[in-house]
Amino acid sequence: MAKLIRNPPFPFKSIQSSISFAFSCLILASIAATTLFSYRLSVDAVQRNSQGYIEEIIKQVNTNIQSYVDNMENISLLAMTSKDVKYYISDNTFISAEERRPYEKRISDLFQSILYTRKDIASIMVFGYNGRFVSDRRITALNPYAKLEEQAWYKNARDAGGKSVLSAPHVQNIIQNEYRWVVSLSRELKSTDGITAEGVFLVDLNLSVIDAICSQINLGKKGYVFIVDSEGNIVYHPQQQLIYSNLLSERIPEVVAASSGTSFIANDRDGKRMYSVQDTNFGWKIVGVAYTDELIANSGTIRSTILAYSLVGLAVSLLLSLLLSHRLTRPIKKLQADMKMVEKGNFGIQTEIGQMNEIGQLGRTFNMMVSRIKDLMQEIIQTQENKRKNELQLLQAQINPHFLYNTLDSIVWMAEQKQHEEVVLMTSALAKLFRASITRDQELVPIRVEAEHIANYLLIQKMRYHEQLDYRIDIDDAILSYKTLKILLQPFVENAIYHGIRNKPEIGLVTIRGREDGGRIVFEVEDNGLGMTPEQLARIWMPDDEGTRRKGIGIHNVNERIQLHFGHEYGIKIRSEPENGTCVTITVPKLG
């Protein structure tokens, strides 16, 4: 673990994990950054758009209110230019009360006809400085307690001297029993000479008109529109009562300072909001307030869309990084697997070489190394085998000295008996035997030679043990020309005589058979001697150790020799029964 910690930055064992991890970090970082930037950008774009949109709306509000004010202005012009009105309020004392009535009726009719077409106008009135007044109603009862001179619209109109004056919204109480919220436009009327002031004209616009214009504006759920005059007094505010109660404060100084068509952002405990200011040409400022979190009404949607896309992108790129790292590390893994095989001892492997990049070169070197190792191994095996063969050849070249002594003894004994023919036969057989043993040039001899050899051997042995031994050689003529190992059968015949027959009271029979069987050559050396117990049989197969080295050539040595020469599918089989004899089967390939 400590080692791992010391190996930053990727605490992974496999290159694939490290690569994937590195890729993933990169991807994650870049997607996070992209997402953040694109969100910021889209939010900015939306905010800019909605800013423009709000300015447009406020402009529209401005136009609407302007059109109402213009209308009032037009109505006032109509009244100003009316001869009846002029005559009525002019300071002419000669008109009697009765003469006045038709004038009043005509003026009232004029006002009424205007009022019929304009539902937004609350009332139209004219007050002459001579104390006369006319309204749009036939019978007008003025509020006796409302003093004309104290009304703001009246005073301001007189002060303005002929210019129209727009009041802030107020409750108009000049008519008895009527208390309406109105905006008043008032104007001083001059006489025909244009110098003498003769009265004040008043048009009241229902405030509900402006209220409707402003309250219908939709600037999000929380946004609203308010109006201030040029001094910063609130003309209209949907939450006016809260402002008067100090439960709400409005950014009046900033609004007054802002020029028309601009907007600014305020951020306090009420939230971040945008003020969009528009000047009217009659001195009011119309202000739209929109909460920025609502401006970007679909900011949630933007966010979740961007988020969804980035998550999908993330998933795709993570998958890609997995695939990519898999592709990159696949040759390494393949190489690793092949190395494992070599580790297990399979040197026949050659790793597949893809592209000739670093890993390809690694693979090539690996292949070269493995084949070199394989060659070396082969060489070692070859050397060992040769060594073994030589040893065996040496062994088999040795004539058992006892055999030689005994044979020579027999010859001497036969010579003494003057059995010349037998002496000649035995000596020549011995000589042939020796020649066969001494010739070391060839390992493989035709079966014919081997048959002769075993016949000579048995001849000698028969002469020595003629009362005890009988033999039969039964080798198929068809196989005589095939080749086999030299002195292959002699050890088994020797064993059959010495261990099977010699100590048997009756005469023993050794049978040697040779034939072809299923593409192979099969020899059998069978005796009807003492036979072996399974334990004895098992002991035969044990390799010689240095200590218990028996004389002659061990069965297993012969087996080994066969297998060295011909492969593991060939060799020796022994079956033996005590008191019944032993049969050795030797299988060798059919060699031409």
| Number of H-type helices and E-type strands within the chain | 17, 18
Which of 96, 177, 259, 355 touches other proteins (CB under 8 A)?
177
Nearer to other proteins, 73 or 293 (CB): 293
What's the token pair of residue 526?
């069978």
What's the token pair of residue 392?
């065996």
Residues near 53 by beta carbon (within 8 Å), at least 6 away in sequence: none
Contact between 234 and other proteins per CB under 8 A? yes
Nearer to other proteins, 223 or 529 (CB): 223
Q: Is the dihedral of CA 65, 67, 69, 75 positive or negative?
A: negative
Q: Is the dihedral of CA 231, 237, 242, 248 positive or negative?
A: negative
Could you give the CA distance from residue 342 to residue 163 in angstroms, rounded to a whole number? 110
In one-letter notation, the amino acid at residue 540 is: I
Closest separation in Å from C-beta 49 to other proteins: 18
User: Count of residues binding other proteins (CB under 8 A)?
Assistant: 50
Contact between 502 and other proteins per CB under 8 A? no
Could you give the CA distance from residue 492 to residue 556 in angstroms, rounded to a whole number? 11
Which listed range, 107-115, 173-181, 444-452, 567-575, lies at the site for other proteins (CB under 8 A)? 173-181
Could you give the CA distance from residue 553 to residue 65 in angstroms, rounded to a whole number? 132
Which listed range, 114-122, 351-359, 446-454, 474-482, lies at the site for other proteins (CB under 8 A)? 114-122
Among 357, 358, 353, 351, which residue's Cα sits nearest to residue 337? 351
Could you give the CA distance from residue 335 to residue 352 in angstroms, rounded to a whole number? 8
Could you give the CA distance from residue 452 to residue 441 in angstroms, rounded to a whole number? 18
Which listed range, 13-21, 79-87, 282-290, 431-439, lies at the site for other proteins (CB under 8 A)? 13-21
Among 284, 165, 289, which residue's Cα sits nearest to residue 227? 284
Nearer to other proteins, 113 or 241 (CB): 241
Hey, which residues between 300 and 359 contact other proteins (CB under 8 A)? 300, 303-304, 307, 311, 314, 318
Binding map of other proteins across residues 265-284, x = CB under 8 A, - = no contact: -----x--------------
Which of 97, 247, 401, 579 touches other proteins (CB under 8 A)?
247
Which listed range, 237-245, 256-264, 380-388, 579-587, lies at the site for other proteins (CB under 8 A)? 237-245
Closest separation in Å from C-beta 557 to other proteins: 50
CA dihedral 479, 480, 483, 486 (to 10 degrees): 130
Q: How do 271-279 and 197-206 pair as beta strands?
A: unpaired
Contact between 293 and other proteins per CB under 8 A? yes
Nearer to other proteins, 119 or 568 (CB): 119
9 prior amide bond cis, ω within 30: yes
Which of 7, 30, 32, 48 touches other proteins (CB under 8 A)?
32
Which of 244, 405, 413, 541 touches other proteins (CB under 8 A)?
244
Helix, strand, coil % in the chain, rounded to nearest 5: 50, 20, 30
Could you give the CA distance from residue 58 to residue 52 in angstroms, rounded to a whole number? 10
Contact between 119 and other proteins per CB under 8 A? yes
Which of 191, 240, 511, 536 touches other proteins (CB under 8 A)?
240
H or E element in which residue 414 lies: helix 401-416
Which of 73, 120, 422, 560 touches other proteins (CB under 8 A)?
120
Which residues in this chain contact other proteins in the complex, by CB under 8 A? 12-14, 16-17, 20-21, 24, 28, 32, 119-120, 122, 143, 145-146, 168, 170-171, 173, 177, 179-181, 206-208, 211, 221-222, 233-234, 238-242, 244-245, 247, 270, 293, 299-300, 303-304, 307, 311, 314, 318
